[in-house]
Structure 1
């Protein structure tokens, strides 16, 4: 399950990176278009300003030709070559382009109107009128190095974008590598602990069976303190190993829920009966209260049994006085089966309530009093309740007991 989550996270991060690169490329393209438009606008203004300025200067060859032939159409007597060779026009063009900070080599041309009433397609152009009155031709400029100029203007932008994207990609690949590496190490550790747990469980079970067999063969040893310690500690170790294996199976979804119809009242009574030795040892009082009639519950008998056993076992374990445990079963108004398990134990500190269902979390009281356990019990209970689409809540006051409230949908 965690492997799938990691793959989903990496895939989502890849999509986010692709989207970021796409946005960056689109932004760069937009910036280039904007620079193109700005360049074209400045050239058009410089070109038209040069034509207007030249038309007002009598020393211009074109202006003098038109002035000397007032009876003729200026457009007919001014050839293209005269316009292109007009030094005054060239000076004004250089001056205007420099004013607009355009210092690029360029070529000048005169474009004639097409037979269809439109001029030929040109990059930058301006009408010759008023320099040559009533002239439909257009003066055009061409910049061979314009693309290099635009790219140079974008150098800082392109460089910074490439640097940032490169850094993000580097961090992403490094994080993915170490994440997958840690996942492999975690899987190896989990496999190791699973094998180790199975290897421990077999001899512990044999020790437990041997102790029980010895007690039956020699009744005088049944109350022997050493034999009781062997039986008690082996039982405790077997329970801890089973909890670890249960959590591992849930983590990797190896044992999906096997749902069946359950009579919850009898189901809880059977669990209490299974815990009778521990209840007698603690001289505990366990009360089961059923309010109203309970409909059948649809759930996994094995996992629910383990979950309820964990809660009752904790109520027996974490108590300095005689344990008093009250279990309430009822059906709520919104058609949910509710189970409340209340005890008079050590309770949980308020600042620990938010992390009580986390794996390997153990309260300060449990650690200080050296209660055995790995902090997996309540995490396992939470997972089972979640898998049954239920809810679990805890209310507790330090030194004044704890109440776990569980609710399950009927279907």
Structure 2
């Protein structure tokens, strides 16, 4: 015989058990739904990453093939221009000589741009190989500055060297360090209204590094865009800066090469007051 009180207790327990099971089912159902959403998001992320990687590989291969295809005709045009310069009929004709010089100059500019693209592709692929050896940074600065002497003189400008560092031997890849110097000096003379004035100095630091400063008195860079200046393909939209052609690869390349040499680079600039790039490189102990 079941007493009413016991029957009520049994029913209450059954109701509580059913309620707990109902709540548990809701929790399990929500948990499964959440897990499904997480797995779906994870799967989509993996798919997106793989797709982006394939696109990146495709872009890199395309750039490599394109730049290599450009190199042959550029080299041929360069040789042809050089041969034409030696012809007497070209030497005696001021107009023809100016045309040949224009072809030669523009070919060199195109070669520089192609080299920049190829170097960035090598950096992105991780296949860049640095042939490091002991170098005199002061000698490299003097050599690169000398190559700009004629260009700057034609613009009635000047380039001053104040190489004060006493320990100026570095372990570096000569070609790439020269490219770093070339890019910084080239930017300094291009992004200047009127006669370019460029100051290049070196100094020893308390951290046993060598500091290299490249300062110009050009148009400068606004503070709001300075944080993007080392980004690949970025070009500041300020004043008539786009009268100077380029791909926005130079400073990105410079930063990555400096970092490959365990160095750092920073920028100080004000619009109308010029820019100063500061590089710190470890010297030979």
TM-score (norm 1): 0.64
397, 401, 411: which one pairs with 2:270?
Answer: 397
Q: Return the alpha-carbon distance in structure 1 between the equivalents of residues 231 and 268 of structure 2.
A: 16
- Residues of 2 paired with 1:350 and 1:323: CA distance? 22
Give the structure 1 partner of residue 125 of structure 2: 252
Q: How many angstroms apart in 2 are the aligned matches of 1:303 and 1:222?
A: 37
Structure 1 residues 278, 208: closer, same or farther in 2, change over 3 A? farther
2:47 matched to 1:177? yes
Matched residue, 1:102: 14
**Superposed displacement of residue 176, structure 1:** 1.6
CA distances 1:217-255 after superposition (whole Å, capped 9, x unpaired): 232247633222212211111100101111111111212
For residues 166-185 of structure 1, what are the alpha-carbon distances to aligned partners after superposition, in whole Å with 9 as ceiling and x for unaligned? 11211221122122112212
Distance 2:22 2:34 in 1: 19
Q: Distance in 1 between matches of 2:11 and 2:2?
A: 16
Q: Which runs of 5+ in 2 are unaligned?
A: none
Q: State the Cα deviation string for residues 238-275 of structure 1 (Å, max 9, x = none).
A: 10010111111111121232221111111111112233
Q: 2:232 & 2:282 partners in 1: Cα distance?
A: 25
CA contact (8 A) 1:221 1:227 kept: no
Number of aligned residue pairs: give it.
Answer: 281
Query: Which of the residues 44, 56, 65 maps onto 1:195?
Result: 65
1:229 aligns with 2:135: no
* Partners of 2:239 and 2:184 in 1: CA distance: 15
Instruction: Kindly indicate whether residue 191 of structure 2 is the aligned counterpart of residue 318 of structure 1.
Output: yes
- Give the deviation of 1:404 after TM superposition: 0.3
TM-score when scaled to structure 2? 0.91
1:103 Cα offset (Å): 4.1
Q: Which entry has the higher C-alpha Rg, 1 or 2?
A: 1
Structure 1 CA distance for aligned equivalents of residues 155 and 165 of structure 2: 31
1:378 deviates by: 0.2
1:92/1:241 CA distance change after superposition, 3 Å: same
Gaps of 5+ in 1: 1-85, 105-145
Distance 1:237 1:384 in 2: 21
- CA separation in 1, counterparts of 2:243 and 2:41? 43
Q: Which residue of 2 aligns with 1:243?
A: 116
Corresponding position: 1:346 with 2:231? no
- Which residue number corresponds to residue 33 of structure 2? 163
